[in-house]
Amino acid sequence: MSIYQRKKWIRRILLITVLALSAIFLAAVVYWNSMLGLLTRPEEIQSTAPHQETAAEISAPAETIPETTSPEETWPEVISDKAVTNIMLVGQNWREDEPNKLSDTMILCSINRNTRTMTMISILRDLYIDLPTYAGHGPGRNRINVCYALGSSWTGTSQGGMEMLAKCVEQNFGVRVDHTVEVGFDAFSAIIDALGGVKIDVSQEEAAYMTEKVGYIGAVEPGVQTLDGMEALAYARIRKIDSDRQRSVRQRTVISSLLEKCRDLSLIELHRMATAVFPYIITDMTNEEITNYVWEFLPMVKDLQLASVTIPVDNETLPGSMWHKTIDLYGYPSDVVQCNVKLNRNYLLALLLGKGEEKIPAGRFQNRSCNPVESMIK
Q: What pLDDT is attached to residue 71?
A: 46
31 and 41 together in one domain: no
Minimal CA–CA distance to 354: which of 167, 87, 114, 166?
Answer: 114
42-51, 66-75, 145-154: which is most confident: 145-154
22 and 96 together in one domain: no
67 and 9 together in one domain: no
Span between the terminal Cα atoms of the chain, in Å: 65
- Residues 169-194 have pLDDT tens digits of 999 998 999 999 988 777 788 888 88
Cβ-in-10-Å burial (0-12, 13-18, 19+) of 95 comes to: exposed
226 and 364 together in one domain: yes
Q: What pLDDT is attached to residue 9?
A: 74
233 and 161 together in one domain: yes
The band of 356, judged by pLDDT with boundaries at 50, 70 and 90, is very low
Residues 6+ apart with CB under 8 A from 146: 58, 100, 102, 131
* pTM of the complete model: 0.77
Q: What is the mean pLDDT of the chain?
A: 77
Q: At what angle do helices 244-262 and 229-236 cross, to 10 degrees?
A: 150
29 and 44 together in one domain: no
Q: Which domain holds residue 88?
A: 37-377
Please state the rounded mean pLDDT for residues 373-377: 25
3-state secondary structure 119-164: EEEEECCCEEEEECCECCECCEEEEHHHHHHHHHHHHCEHHHHHHH
Coil/strand/helix, residue 101: coil
Coil/strand/helix, residue 224: strand
Q: Is the bond into 139 cis (omega within 30 degrees of 0)?
A: yes
113 and 233 together in one domain: yes
- Residues 256-269 have pLDDT tens digits of 888 888 777 777 77
Minimal CA–CA distance to 91: which of 237, 199, 198?
Answer: 237
Q: What pLDDT is attached to residue 100?
A: 53
366 and 229 together in one domain: yes
Cα(335)–Cα(338) distance, rounded to whole angstroms? Answer: 10
Residue 206 has pLDDT above 80, yes or no: yes
99 and 2 together in one domain: no
How many domains, in total, are found in the chain?
A: 2
24-28, 34-38, 39-43, 80-84: which is most confident: 80-84
The CATH number of the domain holding residue 351 is 3.40.630.190
Minimal CA–CA distance to 151: which of 165, 130, 170?
Answer: 165
Q: List, in sequence order, every beta strand (DSSP E) within 15-131.
A: 79-80, 84-92, 103-112, 117-123, 128-131
Residue 276 has pLDDT above 90, yes or no: no
Q: What pLDDT is attached to residue 205?
A: 93
**CA triplet 24, 30, 34: central angle to 5 degrees?**
145
Residue 135 has pLDDT above 60, yes or no: yes
Percent of the chain with pLDDT over 90: 24
Residue 116 has pLDDT above 70, yes or no: yes
83 and 198 together in one domain: yes
29 and 58 together in one domain: no
The band of 53, judged by pLDDT with boundaries at 50, 70 and 90, is very low
79 and 19 together in one domain: no
